[in-house]
DNA sequence: GACATATATTTGCCTTGACAAATATCTTTC
DNA sequence: GAAAGATATTTGTCAAGGCAAATATATGTC
């Protein structure tokens, strides 16, 4: 019965039940997220992947507004407010009023925030990222990133 | 100030603020999901990406249990129950008792389910997948999938 | 065969993120 | 400079998914 429902595929291509790009992205991403969170947890650091990204970006960008940060990590503004609440409660960042624009916040890592990034979070991220790509040569790793960037731009520009 | 906080990166590597693998996967995946959902919506088909995957898998696998289906699309069992509720309500699939095991359900696409997959959902998925990979040659597309599969297996086996 | 253990499905609870409305504050236009 | 429109943040609401408990049924052990 399977022979009938499965239309003859050109036998040179990939098997018809091989994971497609969307499915694969789904799986690789969630596996990677899980692993990074587990790695941080094993170091006694209780951070979600989203919070990991926020701290990373905050560290890269220095003082930024919530909106800029939200754009940088592709997170909804409302969700960002709540994540900032949590990260502020944990003592990793600080909201201060913006000098020129009273609507805007200036968000910055605290000392504890910088420390947690340098000593733990970035290390966990690096370790997992390296482990994930361990079966690829350096050239292949670069190619993978390049392909993904090209796919991203194609999806955004065209469609 | 930025010059200080940003440690000198080997200038041959990628710029230190270039998106990393995790971030890129995040972005590409969500863009792809959004685009497929938009494509289906434009065809008058109201399906989430998760539901798209469930129908796709159900179509590939024929009659399956909820647990098998859940594993196939990497979805929690509880979440699967609720998705099946919705898809059953929409008339795209059917739950019947399993002949040998009274704990288990046998899940199968209805005629409407098969039709919606063949005529609309799979077409939308194909269109978006192709568009996403349009800037890659066929060889590069195959390589991208291969890299992602290798990354996935590395993450799963090792760590 | 009774009992302990394992598995399938469902349900409740909780957290997260998207979306929209509310509020406060710029910015532009006249 | 007042009104209209744009932008930043917060809050409410909702749907989705993960986890754990509940229930029903199989399976393995003695």
Task: For residue range B33-50, list pLDDT tens digits in order.
Answer: 999 999 999 999 999 999
For residue A35, pLDDT over 70 is answered with: yes
The pLDDT, as a whole number, for residue B130 is 95
pLDDT band for B15, please (50, 70, 90 cuts).
confident
Is the distance from CB of A106 to CB of A67 less than 8 angstroms?
no
Q: Mean pLDDT, chain A, as a whole number? A: 91
Which DSSP helix (H) or strand (E) runs through A87?
helix A77-89
Of the candidates B35, B14, B36, the residue with the CA atom closest to the CA atom of residue A144: B14
Tell if A74 CB is < 7 Å from nucleic strand C: yes
The pLDDT, as a whole number, for residue B12 is 59
Mean pLDDT on A45-60:
97
Nucleotide D7 C1' to residue B37 CA (A): 29
The helix-helix angle for B49-61 and B77-89 (nearest 10°) equals 90
The number of C-beta contacts closer than 8 angstroms across A and B is: 163
Is the distance from CB of A132 to CB of A74 less than 8 angstroms?
no
Return d(Cα B136, Cα A43) in angstroms, integer.
Answer: 40
Tell if B97 CB is < 7 Å from nucleic strand D: no
For residue A157, pLDDT over 90 is answered with: no
The pLDDT, as a whole number, for residue B3 is 43
Residues 24-63 of A with CB under 8 A from B: 24-33, 35-36, 49, 53, 59-60, 62
What backbone torsions phi and psi does residue B8 show, to the nearest 5 degrees?
A: -55, 120
Of the candidates B154, B139, B129, the residue with the CA atom closest to the CA atom of residue B21: B154
For residue A5, pLDDT over 50 is answered with: no
User: Per the structure block, which two tokens stand in for B121?
Assistant: 């959902």
For residue B1, pLDDT over 70 is answered with: no
Full-prediction pTM beyond 0.75?
Answer: yes
For residue B153, pLDDT over 90 is answered with: yes
Of the candidates B74, B26, B30, the residue with the CA atom closest to the CA atom of residue B54: B74
The pLDDT, as a whole number, for residue B158 is 63
Q: Mean pLDDT, chain B, as a whole number? A: 91
Strand D-contacting residues in A 30-59, CB cut-off 7 angstroms: 30
The pLDDT, as a whole number, for residue A12 is 60
User: Which residues, other chains included, contact A131 with Cβ-Cβ below 8 Å and sequence gap of 6+?
Assistant: A35, B154, B155, B158, B159
- For residue A49, list chain B residues with Cβ-Cβ distance below 8 A: 22
For residue A125, pLDDT over 70 is answered with: yes
The model's pLDDT over A64-99, given as tens digits with 9 standing for 90+, comes to 999 999 999 999 999 999 999 999 999 999 999 999
* 3-state SS, residue B58: helix
Between strands A93-97 and B93-97, the pairing is unpaired
Name residue A93's beta-bridge partners.
A109
Return d(Cα B144, Cα B97) in angstroms, integer.
Answer: 41
Residues 60-119 of B with CB under 8 A from A: 60, 62, 73-74
The closest CB to that of A25, out of B25, B62, B135, belongs to B25
The pLDDT, as a whole number, for residue B159 is 44
Mean pLDDT on B74-94:
97
For residue A134, pLDDT over 80 is answered with: yes
The pLDDT, as a whole number, for residue A100 is 92
Better pLDDT: B158 or B123: B123
Q: Which nucleotides of C are covered by protein (CB under 7 A)?
A: 7-13, 16-21, 24-27
The pLDDT, as a whole number, for residue A116 is 97
Report which DSSP code applies to B118: I
Looking across all nucleic acid strands, the nucleotide with the smallest C1' to CA distance from residue A77 is D9
Tell if B82 CB is < 7 Å from nucleic strand D: yes
| CA A77 vs CA A108, A146, B67: distances in Å | 17, 29, 36
Put simply, the answer to whether B147 touches A149 (Cβ < 8 Å) is no
Mean pLDDT on A35-55:
96
Cβ of B16: how many Cβ atoms within 10 Å? 11
Q: Find tokens 């947890």 and name the residue.
A: A41
- For residue B109, list chain A residues with Cβ-Cβ distance below 8 A: none
- For residue B76, list chain A residues with Cβ-Cβ distance below 8 A: none
Mean pLDDT on B106-135:
96
Put simply, the answer to whether B133 touches A154 (Cβ < 8 Å) is yes
- For residue B1, list chain A residues with Cβ-Cβ distance below 8 A: 62
End-to-end CA distance of chain B, in Å?
A: 37
Tell me the residue length of chain B.
159
For residue A3, pLDDT over 50 is answered with: no
pLDDT band for B19, please (50, 70, 90 cuts).
confident
Return d(Cα A122, Cα A55) in angstroms, integer.
Answer: 9
CA-nearest residue to B31 within chain A is A155
Nucleotide C26 C1' to residue B44 CA (A): 41
Name residue B105's beta-bridge partners.
B97
The helix-helix angle for A77-89 and A49-61 (nearest 10°) equals 90
Percent share of chain B, pLDDT over 90: 84
Of the candidates A53, A49, A80, the residue with the CA atom closest to the CA atom of residue A66: A80
Put simply, the answer to whether B136 touches A150 (Cβ < 8 Å) is yes
DSSP per residue, A116-159: HIIIIIHHHHHHHHHHHTTTS-HHHHHHHHHHHHHHHHHHHH--
């Amino acid at each position: 019965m399977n022979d009938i429902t499965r239309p003859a595929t050109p036998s040179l291509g990939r098997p018809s039940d091989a994971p497609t790009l969307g499915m694969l992205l789904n799986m690789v991403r969630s596996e990677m997220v899980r692993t990074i969170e587990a790695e941080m947890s094993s170091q006694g650091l209780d951070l979600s992947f989203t919070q990991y990204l926020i701290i990373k970006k905050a560290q890269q960008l220095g003082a930024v507004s919530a909106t800029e940060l939200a754009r940088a990590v592709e997170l909804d503004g409302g969700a960002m407010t709540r994540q900032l609440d949590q990260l502020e409660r944990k003592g990793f960042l600080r909201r201060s009023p913006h000098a020129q624009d009273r609507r805007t916040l200036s968000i910055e890592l605290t000392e504890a925030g910088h420390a947690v990034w340098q000593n733990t979070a970035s290390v966990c991220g690096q370790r997992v990222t390296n482990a994930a790509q361990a079966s690829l040569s350096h050239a292949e790793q670069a190619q993978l990133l390049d392909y993904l960037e090209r796919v991203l731009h194609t999806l955004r520009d065209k469609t």
